[in-house]
Structure 1
Amino acid sequence: MNHQPDPRPAAPTTSGPTQWVTTPVTADLLRGALDLERTEQGLLPHRLPARARAQFPDGQVAMAESQPSGVRVVFRTRATAVELDTLRTKVAYEGAPPRPDGVYDLLVDGHLAGRASVPGGNVLLTDMATGSVESRPGPVGTVRFTGLPDRLKDVEIWLPYNEITRLVALRTDAPVEPVPGGGRRVWLHHGSSISHGSDAESPTTTWPALAALRGGVELTNLGLGGSALLDPFTARAMRDTPADLISVKIGINLVNTDLMRLRAFTPAVHGFLDTIREGHPTTPLLVVSPVYCPIHEDTPGPSLPDFSDLGAGKLRFLAAGDPAERAAGKLTLNVIRAELARIVEQRAADDPHLHHLDGRDLYGEADFADLPLPDQLHPDAAAHRRMGERFAGLAFRDGGPFSTVGT
């Protein structure tokens, strides 16, 4: 690594560092990203490769894949103080109270050791009624962690799942080195905003991150808010990404957007799985159906925002479809669950490494009664924790689809 002394005054810590070491943020210090873009404002991690981003320049996809859910800076060091300069881009909504700042989680040897946010940054002010977006530039900010144990340790800085984050500079009060890879299995997961992390407390408490930490695996999270739509470019990205375990969570975004009918859904699922299998013919592949969501269990989409309480900071969603439209092939969550179960059963006859999980085993009707969806679509922080614990218990247990027993 190319370490450069930095004479700027050190942040106060228990060990009293006197000089910073600046280390360039390079690919060997990052995990969870599929592509890195050098920009004038810093290194921008992407969760879809450039080829995929070029094939459908949709604003929602672009924002979701550049929000670094599951992406973390990882290094080994004796440092007791760490600073990371970043330029964030935060979404705000016209007429609504400010959204909470994104959160950075610091793990030391796999255990949470700090949590902080970064000030400043850019703001994308969105008018939900018209769809217009105004960009307001802001300055670089610094996230700082001090008082770390004075010993050689592995440090992970998990980036906010809900803020586009450009990495500008990494400083420590002792040299850093990359952590060798290859020690743990890599889990590649794709899903909707729920997998992306919507309404989770922090980046390590999204349900996939929780499950990965409990399962002892390395997470590559392709949870893409609003964008789990069986896109071929996503399937190709998964096909070409090294992984030991793969899961795809399919359904809610297809109903939200009212994107396709059952006639198109079935071959699209087959095509998505076929493409993944081109690159991972025998990798354990788990198909997960939607979690419980009352407004769309038997009512098709699209989902529409309810602005009635936006001024109080509450955005809810409504199902705008008609249940009678199911006869014409419109999708609901129950329709999707039944068809996914049938597809997996059919394919599993020739693919013993293909598995199915009913999403209601992660969050079902009883869970909704206990931990209701605040906006009618997305689980809250407590529900994320419950889902992560349940997924780990189901997938990584002995005999589960991601078990090491018998491998």
Structure 2
Amino acid sequence: MHTTEHDWTTTPITAELLFGALELERTAHGVLPHRLPAWARIQCGDAELAMTQAQPSGVRLAFRTRATCVELDALPTKRVYVGAPPRPDGVYDLLVDGRLVGQGSVNGGTTLIIDMTAGTAEERPGPVGTVRFAGLPDGAKTVEIWLPHNEVTELVALRTDAPVEALPDRGRTVWLHHGSSISHGSDAASPTTTWPALASSVAGVELVNLGFSGHALLDPFTARTLRDTPADVISVKLGINVVNKDVMRLRAFTPAVHGFLDTVRDGHPTAPLLVVSPILCPLHEDTPGPTEFDLGSLGAGVLRFRAAGDPAETANGKLTLNAIRAELARIVKQRAADDPNLHYLDGRDLYGSADCAELPLPDGLHPDPAAHRRIGERFAATVFAGNGPFADFGARRPGPAHRR
């Protein structure tokens, strides 16, 4: 595990040092960050959601220290898909005073073996591992360790060669965001290069990322979680998972969106609230769901998706991305007459047809790292700058630090 050339300080991992998580669960090994509170988790028995919300996208340890060497013991859960190419280990990004200075991964951990054709999952236990960052600049500084956005991570121990103290209030705007796997960070290269993390860095705001892969489904418990989470500005990126999962038709979608926004407004009656429709996804622009794994590609060792719906069923209210964009725009326009702080952004302004031609979605659904960067930079420029709906809350604007 750790080496002995330093006089180590071990600091308990508490909520005071953790940003972006809504709850910490005490485990046999340490603590497990959650992005949904326990009361919300028990309202849905879906094992995929339980895993997704525990993948710490946007969650980071942050503290002040003079340390030049930092070690973090962790127990990751690594996914292996039968028949698919091996997944890379989750990446930890270490920032000093906002600048990326190191990356690493943790070996060992639990292995979750998923057989998509059989619909089974087997869990195999493994050991705690360590990620180590040495050679950090001397002197007092702010250190952030962003946890792997796509790997469930139990935090076991934090060691440094100098004492650690909690951050003072940085006076930054808190941006609360909810969305699908794209917001979660699927196919991004590392936790600070998901599009929301990039946008928050450009805008100089504190991110709370409630992007849940496959589960931006207008769930009431998610709306109540947004309602109860402190925030200065809020965005909700809605639509693609409703199509992916084929969970509702237009008749149910419209009141579900209204109810979701009503609940968020119960806790944040005047905060700027942005509704973002789906980015371009050729699979589902005019073809409804469900979305399925392309088993032919999987057999060749490539993970891709296909649209399994029938376009003729749109006449009966089946949802496509074009239908969802039109309805979201209509809903926001209707509500904005009485809610001047409600705004709409067409997701194709972040990633549209020209972007898709240049940076196509590798698996048919998810942006690659270059597209994540483009989406994040465009979101910051469109929303947090100029005449954007969050422009008054961008870099160096006042606002509370978020610590749960």
TM class by smaller structure = over 0.9
Runs of at least 4 residues off by over 3 Å: none
The match for 1:364 is 352
Deviations 1:344-387 (A, max 9, x none): 00000000100000000010011110000011011111000000
1:336 equivalent to 2:324? Answer: yes
1:209 equivalent to 2:197? Answer: yes
Q: Is the 8 A contact 2:173 2:393 kept in 1?
A: no
Equivalent of 2:3 in 9, 13, 18: 9
The match for 1:282 is 270
Give the whole-Å Cα distance in 2 for the aligned partners of 1:271 and 1:182: 34
Q: Is the 8 A contact 1:9 1:19 kept in 2?
A: no
- Could you tell me which amino acid in structure 2 is paired with residue 303 of structure 1? T
Shift of residue 183, structure 1, vs aligned partner? 1.1
The match for 2:7 is 19
The match for 1:162 is 150
Deviations 1:102-160 (A, max 9, x none): 10000100111111111000111000012100001110000100110001000000000
Q: Is the 8 A contact 1:203 1:209 kept in 2?
A: yes
- Distance 1:170-1:312 versus aligned 2 partners, 3 A rule: farther
SS in structure 2 at match of 1:187: strand
| % identity of equivalent residues | 72
Deviations 1:304-350 (A, max 9, x none): 10122325541111111111100000000000000000000000000
Shift of residue 94, structure 1, vs aligned partner? 1.0
- Could you tell me which amino acid in structure 1 is paired with residue 95 of structure 2? L
SS in structure 2 at match of 1:404: helix
SS in structure 2 at match of 1:272: helix
Q: Is the 8 A contact 1:87 1:121 kept in 2?
A: yes
- Could you tell me which amino acid in structure 2 is paired with residue 207 of structure 1? W
Q: Is the 8 A contact 1:398 1:405 kept in 2?
A: no
Give the whole-Å Cα distance in 2 for the aligned partners of 1:54 and 1:72: 25
- Distance 1:59-1:405 versus aligned 2 partners, 3 A rule: closer
The match for 1:267 is 255
Give the whole-Å Cα distance in 1 for the aligned partners of 2:54 and 2:303: 23
The match for 2:57 is 69
- Distance 1:182-1:363 versus aligned 2 partners, 3 A rule: same
Pairing of 1:288-327 with structure 2 (within 5 A):
288-327=276-315
1:86 equivalent to 2:74? Answer: yes
Give the whole-Å Cα distance in 2 for the aligned partners of 1:273 and 1:366: 31
- Could you tell me which amino acid in structure 1 is paired with residue 186 of structure 2? S
Shift of residue 404, structure 1, vs aligned partner? 1.3
SS in structure 1 at match of 2:263: helix
Give the whole-Å Cα distance in 2 for the aligned partners of 1:245 and 1:383: 24
SS in structure 2 at match of 1:63: helix
Pairing of 1:112-261 with structure 2 (within 5 A):
112-261=100-249
Give the whole-Å Cα distance in 1 for the aligned partners of 2:298 and 2:393: 50
Superposition RMSD on alpha carbons, in Å? Answer: 1.4
Pairing of 1:40-79 with structure 2 (within 5 A):
40-79=28-67
Give the whole-Å Cα distance in 1 for the aligned partners of 2:104 and 2:316: 50
SS in structure 2 at match of 1:238: helix
1:355 equivalent to 2:343? Answer: yes
Give the whole-Å Cα distance in 1 for the aligned partners of 2:393 and 2:25: 39
The match for 1:30 is 18
Shift of residue 252, structure 1, vs aligned partner? 0.5
SS in structure 2 at match of 1:335: helix
Give the whole-Å Cα distance in 2 for the aligned partners of 1:316 and 1:235: 31
Give the whole-Å Cα distance in 2 for the aligned partners of 1:372 and 1:405: 32
SS in structure 2 at match of 1:55: coil
Give the whole-Å Cα distance in 2 for the aligned partners of 1:132 and 1:218: 38
Shift of residue 181, structure 1, vs aligned partner? 2.6
SS in structure 2 at match of 1:386: helix
Q: Is the 8 A contact 1:90 1:162 kept in 2?
A: no
Q: How many residues align?
A: 395
1:346 equivalent to 2:340? Answer: no
Q: Is the 8 A contact 2:85 2:302 kept in 1?
A: no
SS in structure 2 at match of 1:114: strand
Q: Is the 8 A contact 1:97 1:312 kept in 2?
A: no
The match for 1:394 is 382
Shift of residue 42, structure 1, vs aligned partner? 1.5
Give the whole-Å Cα distance in 2 for the aligned partners of 1:283 and 1:102: 34
Give the whole-Å Cα distance in 1 for the aligned partners of 2:296 and 2:88: 20
- Could you tell me which amino acid in structure 2 is paired with residue 383 of structure 1? A
Give the whole-Å Cα distance in 2 for the aligned partners of 1:70 and 1:127: 28
Q: TM-score, normalised by structure 1?
A: 0.95
Give the whole-Å Cα distance in 1 for the aligned partners of 2:112 and 2:321: 32
- Could you tell me which amino acid in structure 2 is paired with residue 366 of structure 1? A
- Could you tell me which amino acid in structure 2 is paired with residue 242 of structure 1? P
SS in structure 2 at match of 1:90: strand
- Could you tell me which amino acid in structure 2 is paired with residue 83 of structure 1? E
SS in structure 2 at match of 1:133: strand
Give the whole-Å Cα distance in 2 for the aligned partners of 1:290 and 1:385: 17
Q: TM-score, normalised by structure 2?
A: 0.96
